[in-house]
Amino acid sequence: MITPTPLMQLVTGYWSFKTLAAAVELDLFGRLADGRVITREEAEKEFGLPERPADLLLSACASLGLLEKDGPGYRNSELSEQFLVPGRPHYFGGQVRYCDERTYLPYHRLGEALRTDKPLTWDPDTQESLFTTADPVMLAMFWEAMYSTSAFTARALGEAYDFGTHRRLLDVGGGAGAFPIELCRRYPHLRATVLDLPHVTGKAREKATAAGLADRIGTADGNFLTDPALPGGHDVILLSMILHDWSEPQNRTILAKCFDALPSGGAIVISELLLNDERTGPPAAALMGMTMLVETEGGRNWSGAEYTAWLTDAGFTDVRTIAFDAPGANGAVIARRP
């Protein structure tokens, strides 16, 4: 029998997210780091909460797998201990805060974005792109949010595709360098360059130094959209979670630059949340596309077939798609310059 239960799950999805966001805002998981247990009465005093909200928050977080009951108290689950304690290597709280403070309220106006086809989180008339903002805190949250997601996606990509046949990697729009760090760790002979805007490459250098890889990971300041050419001297180019931000004409231009920058036999790797060829799913890719409507002027999530067509038109050959499971991608489209 068909029931409205699936619809109820869709309608109430924000309950879980906003509970998580409120807990991160209170630094609940940071306060419970390293196995600390807190009772409801202690939470009332520590967080300045009345009895009912303290009880409901702890119960809700436990129901979501964020806390575990320990006698009369609560402690972090393994998931929260690893990813929601500030200062941990793969802290995910930046992603939570970014979505809560940057995209949650604009999503309330999704109908406006559908009618106007204009982004809701920034103004194209006064800003160059969604990656430029006068708010340094928001900008820092964005790069922190991306790093944890990218690190685990890079590990999955490194298992699914053999970078062992390459010597030098160019990470186009590489942000804080999570992909080169993880891939260079897995492939000891690999060297990499992060290409990004000047205010971003400094973060990549900091991360590479902290990882002990400053001698193998360099940076290049540039804008892959407006610069006439990409840096040469690399035999593999990575575009990870990049092309969903841009329109088809912009993506074709980027791919043409990649073709020109690669030597014969060089490879391009496009890592994304790929839509199926029928453009009916999976939900993670399709709903990321809705976020592109809210956040970009021309971005959307594309299918493997669409990337294959663009790569072929750009002159690439041996195009193939591989699948994997990761926070920021479900597969990669790979091609070679003949």
DSSP codes of every residue in 73-104:
EEEE-HHHHHHSSTTSTT--HHHHHHIIIIIH
Dig out the tokens for 127 from the structure.
């800003």
Is residue 244 annotated as a catalytic residue, yes or no?
yes
Which residues contact residue 95 at a Cβ distance below 8 angstroms, ignoring those fewer than 6 apart? Answer: 144, 145, 146, 148, 149
Alpha helices by DSSP H, 129-228:
136-160, 178-186, 198-210
Query: In 3D, which of 166, 307, 298 has the Cα closest to residue 240?
Result: 307
Q: H/E element holding 334?
A: strand 331-336
Rounded Cα gap, residues 176 and 91, in angstroms: 14
Rounded Cα gap, residues 317 and 259, in angstroms: 11
Which residue among 90, 166, 189, 244 is the active-site one? 244
Catalytically annotated residues: 244
